[in-house]
Amino acid sequence: MIERPRVLLLIPHLGGGGSERVFALLARGLSHEKYELHLGVVTGAVVAAGAIPAFVTVHMLGAKRVRSAAFRLISLVRQLRPQVILCGMFHLNFLILLLRPFFPQSVQVIVRQNGTVSAALAQSGLPIYTRLLYRVLYPRADRVICQSTAMANDLAREINLPAQNTIVLPNPIEVELLRGAISEASERWAGPGPQLLAIGRLSQEKGFDLLLQALVAVREQFAHCRLVIAGSGPEEAALKALSDRLGLESDVTFAGYLDDPAIYFPGASLFVLSSRHEGLPNALLEAAAGGLPIVASPASEGIRDLLRGQVGTWLASEVSAEALAEALLAALTSLEPSRRFQHAFIDAFRFDRAIRAYEALIDATIAGAGHPRP
């Protein structure tokens, strides 16, 4: 019997964000006949039943923070001796690449970049040495996965990472499953609408404060407009307080973190992405797969390239509450109730196609072990 290559997926935790969702989909989609699959969850106590298939061996490291997990990660990697480590989220990427000299030499490391570096460095209040960490550590990776060509080019410009060290891979999206969701009955919306849906971590970069301010202007023309925000995060209390100050407490629902935000697709008038900066978020792609009309801020070059000129999408002129309100009003005044779109651009992100691309990268990385990195 031929021994299967061992692949270790590493993620800080399994809940809350698009990156975690991508890794859960990879765990489910990568071939367990071709690979021996392992998933390392650095923080968090449990994994929800059914979230990860039984053929994936889950390792709960139980660290309080990613940065405190160094010895546990070294121990896990030395014990498993995987041919490939694939990890996501920049702070975990930093730690794995910092620890790489302590891993067996045969271990290859692929990291997934989940945001646009220039915007993150400029706006998110990260430590001043973050750029240095990118420049010193990312060249240690065998390959850096980006979600768009624009993101890869940005990475090359910002940290001088050679273009051949990056690869653009689509996020896996369960397109057919999400398209099926729009045919279900709408049971979660109240009132005549229109009904706006936003999904994401409740954090500053997601711009939900801008969306709440924009909603005030929208309600001047659409008095019954309602908004559901699905997600959790550190800005939850501040956003709820802002909603109350703006007089929106009866018009905005904070739905919390949802395993399946698509339950809100039926009956939604449109999906809105209000982010200040982004990579290419899964929430946007899943809404597109579900056929929802889309209003988005120009949060990254990748988003602008994806949506520009596409039927059923409205791109704000800038990242601001005023521009977002203008785009929302333009969409709502032209949309027919319950209108849905095919959004042909989503075909590139189909689950089977994306999984094949990830498997091709893993196979190429294993085949190139022991050779100079590209």
DSSP state letters, 110-161: EEE--S-HHHHHHHS---TTHHHHHHHHGGGSSEEEESSHHHHHHHHHHH--
**pTM of the predicted protein model:** 0.87
pLDDT at 303: 92
Nearest to 260 by CA among 278, 283, 239: 283
Give per-residue pLDDT as tens, 30-61: 999 999 999 999 987 555 545 788 999 999 99
The gap between the terminal CA atoms of the chain, to the nearest Å, is 32
Write down the domain spans for the chain: 6-173+350-367, 175-348
Report strand pairing: 6-11 vs 84-88.
parallel
Domain 175-348 has CATH 3.40.50.300: no
6-173+350-367 shares its CATH topology with 175-348: yes
Give me the CATH topology for the region 6-173+350-367: Rossmann fold (3.40.50)
Helix 18-29 / helix 351-367 crossing angle, nearest 10 deg? 80
Q: 15 by DSSP, 3-state: which? A: coil
Residue 21 is predicted with a pLDDT of 82
Cα–Cα distances (Å) from 148 to 121, 152, 206, in that order, read: 18, 6, 19
Using the predicted structure, report yes or no on whether residue 117 has a pLDDT greater than 90: no
Q: Is the pLDDT of residue 332 over 50?
A: yes
Half-sphere exposure of 358 toward its Cβ, with a 13 Å CA cutoff?
Answer: 32
Report the alpha-carbon distance of residue 356 to residue 354 in Å, rounded: 5
pLDDT above 70 for 221: yes
Does the pLDDT value for residue 371 go beyond 50? no
Between CA 216 and CA 248 the distance in angstroms is 8
Summarize pLDDT for 302-329 with one digit per residue, the tens: 899 999 999 999 999 999 999 999 999 9
Q: Is the pLDDT of residue 372 over 50?
A: no
pLDDT digits (tens, 9 = 90+) for 60-71: 998 989 989 999
How does the average pLDDT of the chain come out, rounded?
Answer: 90
